[in-house]
Structure 1
């Protein structure tokens, strides 16, 4: 089933300590990897800056939203992010799960349905 994957992240001190040329080299590699995701069936929905005016704002400055083809791809995507060294430079939390019908999820909330353990 199609998955939604959301990354919320902030800079770590290690990112600020890197020279701009190193940061640019690292980001260039990430840009190329993201461009390659489309051929794997990933829809890069959005990258953005988390507006300071957002009501009940999550304490992260940046976000990325993807639609990925299935949970197996999702887990591999997570492994690739970790292997890239991303977490050395960015504090990140992730949100992911099956792309479900909004009404079914909301009615499940009324029944106190929680995510199943994998």
Structure 2
């Protein structure tokens, strides 16, 4: 069953303090890990800047939505992000888990304890 990760993140001062070349170098290292994650069934669905004009918008500046083949791939993605040093540079919130349809989610909401 597919699993998903929604990330919300904003740059920390440590990121803002880097030069453009240092940022580029870091992001190239992050990008170099993508083929290994893709081989596990990790796919970036959408990444971008958050539209602050939307009702109830997050305080974060950016988002990423990932689809993973299974829980193992999701854990590899979350672990890989952490190992990259990402959290040194970005304040991040993760929301991840098994995917489901609208009806299943309504049942989850009804049955919440």
Shift of 1:101: 1.4
Q: CA RMSD in A?
A: 1.5
Deviates more, 1:23-32 or 1:36-45: 36-45
Check the 8 A contact 2:37/2:77 in 1, yes or no.
Answer: no
Secondary structure at the counterpart of residue 57 of structure 1: coil
CA distance in 1, matches of 2:34, 2:76: 14
Cα shift readout 1:17-63 (whole Å, capped 9, x = no counterpart): 11111111001122232354333222210001100111101111101
| Residue 30 (1) aligns with residue 27 (2) | no
Number of residues paired by the alignment? 113
Structure 2 distance, partners of 1:18, 1:92, is 18
Give the direction of change, closer, same or farther, for the CA distance of 1:76–1:37 in structure 2 (3 Å limit): closer
Q: What is the distance in 2 between the residues matched to 1:106 and 1:73?
A: 26
Q: TM-score, normalised by structure 1?
A: 0.86
Extract unaligned runs of 5+ from structure 2.
none
Q: Runs of 5+ in structure 1 lacking a partner?
A: none
Tell me what 1:9 maps to. 9
Q: Does the aligned pair in 1 maintain the 2:37–2:73 contact within 8 Å?
A: no
TM-score, normalised to structure 2, is 0.90
Aligned to 1:43: 43
Q: What's the CA shift for 1:102?
A: 1.1
5 Å matches for 1:37-116? Answer: 37-109=37-109, 111-113=110-112
Query: Which residue pairs with 2:20 in the alignment?
Result: 20
